[in-house]
Amino acid sequence: MIKAILFDMDGVLVDAKDWHYLALNRALNHFGYDISRESHLSTFDGLPTKSKLAMLSISVGLPEGLHPFINKLKQLYTMNISNSECKPTFNHQFALSRLKKDGYKIAVCSNSIRHTVEEMMRLSALDPFLNCIVSNEDVLCGKPDPEMYLKAMAELDVQPHECLILEDNDHGIEAAIASKGHLLKIVEPSDVVYSRIKQKIKEIEA
């Protein structure tokens, strides 16, 4: 029986993929660096900012001493965009409220920092339905490592086979599979609807 639903945030509950891309590039541009759209989609999408900066140091020589400042700028720019663009979505509010009413435990597991996750959930009006948030600051290893999902399962007191995980990008999907939870692949946030989640649960429990 499925007892918990674990959601990724960016690209699943919030259409924020471009926000992170634009915010990081805006920070990098101050120092003459840039991530191409192709590289973002093929390599960087879904990774923590710290991992992206480490990869840029290896690939294009970004000085490691700039990492903390660029990271801080990136988070600031992300929140500026979020406060302008992040708004409640009826389908998501309906889905999470119904799942909560049905008795499922609900968590959000994101490679973003905790402040960003909390603010986006607040701006999306989804925070009242959450039992647990796990950010990249709450684990030693972000996705694609499964630690984030395993930590959420432990906090919710459920086993992997009792969890359905909604993920959209390769790094998150890898983490979900490694955690041994059940996976529902999402292409875009509009795919996240109550009826589809319940249908997947029905298939798992059949």
* pLDDT given for residue 181 in this prediction: 98
Beta 105-109 vs 163-167: how paired, if at all? unpaired
* pLDDT given for residue 19 in this prediction: 87
pLDDT interval class at 173 (50, 70, 90): very high
Q: What is the DSSP string of 38-66?
A: HHIIIIITTS-HHHHHHHHHHHH---GGG
* pLDDT given for residue 89 in this prediction: 95
Q: How far apart are CA 14 and CA 35, in angstroms?
A: 22
Q: What is the pLDDT of residues 82-102, one digit of tens each?
A: 888 889 999 999 999 999 999
Give the pLDDT mean for 110-117.
93
Question: Could you tell me how far CA 187 lies from the centroid of its own chain?
Answer: 13
CA-based nearest residue to 55, from 33, 72, 75:
33
Question: Could you tell me how far CA 143 lies from the centroid of its own chain?
Answer: 9
Q: How far apart are CA 109 and CA 172, in angstroms?
A: 10
pTM: 0.84
Q: Is the pLDDT of residue 172 over 90?
A: yes
Sign of the dihedral defined by the CA atoms of residues 89, 25, 47, 127, in that order = negative
Residue for token pair 């999907």: 173
DSSP SS3 for 21: helix
Give the pLDDT mean for 53-59.
95
DSSP character at residue 187: S
Q: Are 181 and 153 in contact (CB under 8 A)?
A: yes
**How many residues does the structure list for the chain?**
206
From 34-43, 66-75, 193-202, the region with the lowest mean pLDDT: 34-43
Q: How far apart are CA 185 and CA 66, in angstroms?
A: 36
Q: How far apart are CA 173 and CA 75, in angstroms?
A: 24
